[in-house]
Structure formats: structure tokens, C-alpha cells
A and B are shown apart, each in its own frame.
Chain A
């Protein structure tokens, strides 16, 4: 392959004020400005967003799915982190 392929960008969109930006997909663009513009044309043709973030895919670091079991294991045996772990007498209100 020659080196004329535009880099890959991940696109995040805030669908309305007050909500998080959410990953919606990716696209190729020569630079960030073009990535934002392409993201508008590709991912918000029907008013799906009020704000766009783009980040070059190569800058994303991810956890390893092959190690997901061990990696997330520390949270698996701590049920006391959830409010449902505790018994509250029926007569107690507002808790």
C-alpha cells in the first residue's frame, strides 16, 4: 500500500446538552479539521449531535480483552460496594 491513506479517527458525539460524548464510529481524514467536518456529514445528517470530538485512533490505548477476567476480577467479590448488600429495617424510611 502506498502512503497516501488518510489516518483513521474515532468519532465521539454529544447527542444533546447535558449528555456525555459517546463513541459512534470512525472515519479517515487528512487532519483534525477535516475529521470534524466529515464526522458532521457522516454521523449527524439527522441532527444526531450538538458537539463532536475526534481523536486519532492510534492515540487510543485499551485494556486487553484476553486479560479481561483477571483485570476486572478485583471488583467481582465486593458486593458490599452495592447498597443492596445492606439490610435496612422496613420501618426505616428515606434510606
Chain B
């Protein structure tokens, strides 16, 4: 029998299996390209929208030190969005198209940012819990199969650990403060715990894309694996702070060497994904407004660059 030459798909999978990174101009299946554009742009949008709940507290930070830190963190997030948009652009989509999809509601971003930041302790929880969860998601992405995405994630991860530490420090300061401050910390944890667990996405049994993404080594761990890791990491940290995780079912399981925990409210998860969270409307509106009101700046900069180039050409 004649052996058939491997198809492009088979060659592609063989490279993936050998852990050879895929680069922008390499052949790739259309579905791989599409999956990556969706995932990377969604990730970029999350960084962009993620600036909004924290932006709320820049002018209200309790000290100049906290304000400087928060500004630096929000600036990092803009940078992370940019690294990721650039990575997605190498796949043939445009910045304008991605932003248009975000603004029309076609593209998603992490649902966590559709929850409000009501107290200063929320800045602690966003850093400690939300960025903590983000890091768990992102660290394996440093080894994802698409080169530009992996390289962007290396840079993001380096910067993200400061975000988590500053969040933990806010929580620690509150927990070591007056009873009212500790209460504020506990109240924020109560609100952020479950939404953070939702950040890892639907249960494996209800996540249709996971299998293919694992095969292509875009994802390295499943949603449930990462969620479990997160709980195992965070419960002792909450205990250290003297805070209680708002889940009665949290209990160390000696046999599994992991914490048991309760079921996420999936109804709430899907409601927020579908646009019915507390802040979906507000976040998107803020984004669209910023984009539209900035249009003249983008146009003016381009016109200015054009005029200057024309002057240089005449002079030369």
C-alpha cells in the first residue's frame, strides 16, 4: 500500500505535538486562527475594560502612595491590552475590527469586570483575587502554541505579579486595621469570591472548545483544574488574613490533597456573560464613549503626521 503524504493539518498537529511554536506566517488551520483571534482579542478586551473598575478609585485612593500604585497598575493594563492586540493582529485581524467587535457587543471580555467596585477593599480584592485568578490562567499561556501570544504573555506575567501583591497588601493593611476596616475587607471578599471562581469559565463538561484547544496546546489546563488550583491557593491566604471565604462547603480533603468547595451559581455566570450583569451596560458605554470622543485626536495626529511629512518632502 502506498503511504500518503501527510496533509497540512497532520503536519501542523505534528509540530504542535513536538512543542514547536507556530509563528504568524506559518500555515495554520483556519479554525486555529479563528480560535486564537477570538481568545486573544477577548483577553485584550478584558485588559482594556479591566481598567474601568479601578479607574473609579484612582481619584479616591486613600493616600498618594496608593494612588501612584493604582495609576501604575492601570497603565500596565493598558499596556497588556496593547501587547495582546498586537499579537492578535499578527493573525490578520485589525485593531479597528477588534475594537468594533468589542463596542458592538459581538466580542466578549471577562465577566468579572461587570461587577461594581464599591469600596476601597474592592481594590484589594481585584488585585489579590482577580489578578490572582488571571495569573493562574496566564502562566500556562506563556507556553501556548502560538509564538506571539506566548511572548506577549511572558511580558504580562512578569508585570502581573506586582498587581497581585499590591492587592494582597491592601487586604492585609485593612485586616490589621480597625474593626470597621476588617469588616470592609470581609464584605469585599464576600462579594468577589464567587465571581472570581467564575473567571475560569464553565465546567469542563460544558466547555465545548476545551478539548480542541488542549489538542492545539492553546490551553494547557482545563477550566476545572485551574479553578481547583485557585481555591487551593487562596483558602490558606484568606485564613492568614483572618478572613472567611463565603462558602460553607470549603473543606480540606485529605484524600484528594485539595479543598472541596461548593458549586458556582452558573445561572448568574451565564446571565452576566449574556450581558445582564450589574455593570455590563455601563462598562460598554464607557468604552464606546472614550473611543468616540477620542476619534478627533486620532484623526488630528494622523493629519499632523501627514502635513509634517509633506513639509519634509518639500524641504528635501
Chain A bound to chain B: yes
A30 B94 Cβ-Cβ under 8 A: no
Cβ contacts A35-64/B at 8 Å (1 or 0 each): 000000110011000000000000000101
* In the assembled complex, B4 has its CB within 8 A of some CB on chain A: no
Question: B229: which A residues are within 8 A, CB to CB?
Answer: none
A5 B94 Cβ-Cβ under 8 A: yes
**4 closest Cβ contacts across the A-B interface?**
A31-B305, A30-B301, A30-B305, A26-B86
Q: How distant is B221 from chain A, measured CB to nearest CB, in Å?
A: 26
Q: How distant is A33 from chain B, measured CB to nearest CB, in Å?
A: 9
B305 A8 Cβ-Cβ under 8 A: no
Task: Name B91-107 residues within 8 Å CB distance of A.
Answer: 94-97
Kindly list 9 other residue pairs between chains A and B, CB separation below 8 angstroms, not including A2-B96, A65-B27: A4-B299, A5-B95, A5-B96, A25-B86, A31-B301, A41-B75, A41-B79, A42-B79, A45-B72
Given contacts A27-B82, A30-B302, A45-B75, contact A65 B26 (CB under 8 A): yes
For B82, the closest partner residue in chain A by CB is: A42
Please measure, in the bound complex, the distance between the C-alpha atom of A64 and the C-alpha atom of B305, giving whole angstroms.
Answer: 32
* In the assembled complex, B251 has its CB within 8 A of some CB on chain A: no
Question: B305: which A residues are within 8 A, CB to CB?
Answer: 30-31, 34
* In the assembled complex, B224 has its CB within 8 A of some CB on chain A: no
Please measure, in the bound complex, the distance between the C-alpha atom of A64 and the C-alpha atom of B26, giving whole angstroms.
Answer: 9
Please measure, in the bound complex, the distance between the C-alpha atom of A45 and the C-alpha atom of B302, giving whole angstroms.
Answer: 25
Cβ-neighbour of A31 out of B79, B152, B308 (below 8 A): B308
* In the assembled complex, B183 has its CB within 8 A of some CB on chain A: no
Q: Would you give 19 A-B contacts (Cβ < 8 Å), ordered by A?
A: A1-B96, A4-B302, A6-B298, A6-B302, A26-B89, A27-B82, A30-B298, A30-B301, A30-B302, A30-B304, A31-B304, A31-B305, A34-B305, A42-B83, A45-B75, A45-B76, A65-B23, A65-B27, A66-B27
Please measure, in the bound complex, the distance between the C-alpha atom of A38 and the C-alpha atom of B299, giving whole angstroms.
Answer: 17
For A8, the closest partner residue in chain B by CB is: B89
* In the assembled complex, B34 has its CB within 8 A of some CB on chain A: no
Please measure, in the bound complex, the distance between the C-alpha atom of A39 and the C-alpha atom of B302, giving whole angstroms.
Answer: 17
* In the assembled complex, A21 has its CB within 8 A of some CB on chain B: no
Question: A66: which B residues are within 8 A, CB to CB?
Answer: 27
Cβ contacts A1-13/B at 8 Å (1 or 0 each): 1101110100000
B301 A45 Cβ-Cβ under 8 A: no
Q: How distant is A45 from chain B, measured CB to nearest CB, in Å?
A: 7
* In the assembled complex, B281 has its CB within 8 A of some CB on chain A: no
Question: B249: which A residues are within 8 A, CB to CB?
Answer: none
For A57, the closest partner residue in chain B by CB is: B89
Task: Name B293-316 residues within 8 Å CB distance of A.
Answer: 295, 298-299, 301-302, 304-305, 308-309
For A62, the closest partner residue in chain B by CB is: B25
Please measure, in the bound complex, the distance between the C-alpha atom of A2 and the C-alpha atom of B302, giving whole angstroms.
Answer: 13
* In the assembled complex, A28 has its CB within 8 A of some CB on chain B: yes
Question: B76: which A residues are within 8 A, CB to CB?
Answer: 45
A34 B301 Cβ-Cβ under 8 A: yes
Please measure, in the bound complex, the distance between the C-alpha atom of A4 and the C-alpha atom of B89, giving whole angstroms.
Answer: 17
